[in-house]
Structure 1
Amino acid sequence: GINQLAAGTSQLAANSAALRSGASQLAGGLGQMNAQVPALTSGVNQLANGTQQLNANSPKLADGATQLEQGNSKLAKALAEGSEQVNDNTKNLSSKTSNMFASPTELKHKSYSYVPNYGYALAPYMLSVALYVGALVFNLVYPVRRLSDPDASATEWWLSKLSVGALVATGTSVVEVLLMMAAGLHPDHLGATLINAWFFALASTFIVMFLAVAFGNIGRFLGIIFLVIQLGSCGGSFPIQVTRAMGGFFQMVNPFLPMTYSVYGFRESLTSGLGANQVWISVGVQLIYIIASIALLWVAMNAERSKVTYVDVEAQNLND
């Protein structure tokens, strides 16, 4: 026993260092445990709160489970009925049934506008150009700066030229539409075609007349320049969206030119497709140009009245 006690004492002495290290680790672990006690307490509180919420919402959870069970029952029943219908259809399968599954929809094509050839497509542009050129020719030939009465006032001069210009514009528009129809171009809406042609002819005539009275031959030249600008900007030959020349100048002025709306009006009246209101929009814009041109013509004639002299054409012809 003494020998065993001596041996055990030796082992205890040999392991005393390990015993002290273990005691130190135990003390450190107890310290860490003591430091984590607040976090453990907070977690226990959170667990208690969550348990309370779970307990409070358990009736809703039970209701949801019941609804889910009922929905699954309905789905199973509907799938069973659908499968029976599919089986019934399969038994009576025909070519019509297979065609229906292969092509469940049918496409129908309906044209909102019919343009039979390139001539119809270009007609609105050429009709507008012809009316404006007719206004230019009239104002080049007709002596708008000549008085018919030596004692006529500026207003009388204005009324006389205005009436003649309106008469010529009316005749030009009617003759052009009739010639167009004689050549084989038949409009969808004849009345709208005549109205659009008449208003654009009036606008063109009075625009050029104002320029001719206000600036003489220079004004007539400006009328030609205005025609050139409209040719590139009205979108008659090509869509204005692809006309990008001159840094977008033509696209910028397109909405403000009378020929733009004349082309749109003719397109709708000849072949439809732009909406019933397009002709009235075109006529409204051209009416603005007509009123503005007539007003400016009156102002120009009042300014130029003192510079214009009466010429007796008949006496001059007799002398010649």
Structure 2
Amino acid sequence: PAVAAQQAAVAQDAQRVVGALQAMQAPAASAGAILQKTSAQAAAAGGSTTITLPELQTLASALQQTKAIAEQTQSLLANLDTLTKTLATQQQTLKNGVAALNTGVEQFAPQATTAFAGYNTVRAGGERLQAGAALVAGNLATAQQGSGQLAQGAATLQQHSSTLVQASNQLADGSSTLAHKLQTGAAQVKLLPTSPAAQQQMAAPVASSEHSTGSVPNYGYAMAPYMLSLALFVGGLALTTMYPVRKTFSRQENAWRWWLAKMSVLGLAALVQATIMMLVLVYVVGLQPDHPWLFAATSYLASLAFMSLITLLVMVLDNPGRLVVMIIMVLQLAASEGIFPIQTASGFFQAINPWLPMTHSIIAYRHAISGGVDSALYTQHMLILAGFALVANALLIGFLTWRGTRQFAHTTVDGD
């Protein structure tokens, strides 16, 4: 209320000042005109002038109104100062009230949280109490059912009590029999000899012995038979690609001389490549075969067999023969049992396995390098390799005999 009254007083003073200023406009304008006129006259007359009585009255009236306006303005400023102080006091009071309110809120918040937590605890306890009551009710029913079963079990136990007594008697009789038998066995054990030989016989009734038939120290030794056979086969194919197998430099008298002219070179090359391979493996790589002579024999025979087969196919079929040789080589990679047992391959590879020359050279190499293969089995595979060589050369001689002394038309890579 005090602030409102002060605001009303300030508003009234402001209205009076505004009204006085509006009323002062006309007298102030007249007084200003009089002063301008007298100033001009004084300037023209050398500093002296005259003024009439009405003009003095006008100036006096203007001064009187100006004084009244000044007093009203002073009253307005005083009221404004009072209002400002009152507002400052009210603002400080409001600030203190807000601080007190904040303090109360801070004090109330923990209490409210505690009260809410207590409410949640009470509610959870009520829920647990309700669940416990339901559980007790269910367990009472179960207990009633169990008591009935217990009564039935007691009746059954009473019915079979006689059987239990009989079983107890039988157990007692069996215990007596067991004790008697144990005594008899102990007496018999005392009769057994206890010499060191008898003790050794009881401790180790069977003697075992080991005999190593082959040694494969590392993976290189295990892969050597496969890689050596493959190297000889690829070497034979490469040689027939570079050497003009079908070309003759003069008309041959007969098939034997034609065959001898070619196989003397290719056979010698087969022996040379096998020799170089063995020397590199033994003296450079460090391979130490268990049977050096068998290793050499296998290398020479396998190289001759491969070379004979490749020469036959190239001589008969020319470039398609080389394609057939490559197909045979690819089949041997999977079916010659060089890496995994042939039993792990498909039925097709198992079927062609015995008919591939690398199959037999790999088995022979395994015996020559690491041992472990029966000598009779080694001889069998060597004979099969020799059979490949003999059959290939026989077929080659037969083909050359059929062809006679006619030379091939040099339209292939073997020609001019």
TM-score range, shorter chain: 0.5 to 0.7
Structure-2 residue corresponding to 1:266: 365
Which of 393, 402, 406 does residue 306 from structure 1 map onto? 406
Q: CA deviation at 1:109?
A: 3.0
CA distance in 2, matches of 1:162, 1:147: 13
Alignment pair present for 1:281 and 2:390: no
Structure-2 residue corresponding to 1:208: 310
CA distance in 2, matches of 1:270, 1:137: 26
Which of 349, 358, 361 does residue 250 from structure 1 map onto? 349
| Structure 2 unmatched runs, 5+ | 1-184
Q: Which has the higher contact order (CA 8 A, sep 6+)?
A: 1
Q: CA deviation at 1:81?
A: 11
Is contact 2:282-2:288 (8 Å) kept? yes
Letter in 1 for 2:324: L
Q: How does 1:60-99 map to 2 (within 5 A)?
A: 85-86=191-192, 89=194
CA distance in 2, matches of 1:82, 1:276: 54
- Percent of matched pairs sharing the same residue: 32
Q: CA deviation at 1:292?
A: 1.0
Q: CA deviation at 1:309?
A: 5.4
- TM-score, normalization: structure 1? 0.64
In structure 2, relative to structure 1, the CA distance for the partners of 1:155 and 1:270 (3 Å cut) is same
Alignment pair present for 1:198 and 2:297: no
Is contact 1:113-1:272 (8 Å) kept? yes
CA distance in 1, matches of 2:410, 2:316: 17
CA distance in 2, matches of 1:240, 1:217: 31
Q: CA deviation at 1:106?
A: 3.8
CA-to-aligned-CA distance 1:54-110 (integer Å, 9 cap, x gap): xxxxxxxxxxxxxxxxxxxxxxxxx99975642x52xx7x8x866653443343333
- Where 2:214 maps in the other structure, the secondary structure is coil
Structure-2 residue corresponding to 1:240: 342
Q: CA deviation at 1:308?
A: 1.6
Alignment pair present for 1:140 and 2:234: no
Structure-2 residue corresponding to 1:188: 290
Q: CA deviation at 1:157?
A: 1.9
Letter in 2 for 1:242: T
Letter in 2 for 1:141: M
Structure-2 residue corresponding to 1:229: 331
Q: CA deviation at 1:195?
A: 0.8
- TM-score, normalization: structure 2? 0.50
In structure 2, relative to structure 1, the CA distance for the partners of 1:124 and 1:259 (3 Å cut) is same
Structure-2 residue corresponding to 1:71: none
CA distance in 2, matches of 1:82, 1:269: 59
| Structure 1 unmatched runs, 5+ | 1-78
Aligned residues: 226
Alignment pair present for 1:169 and 2:263: no
CA distance in 1, matches of 2:326, 2:277: 21
CA distance in 1, matches of 2:341, 2:250: 49
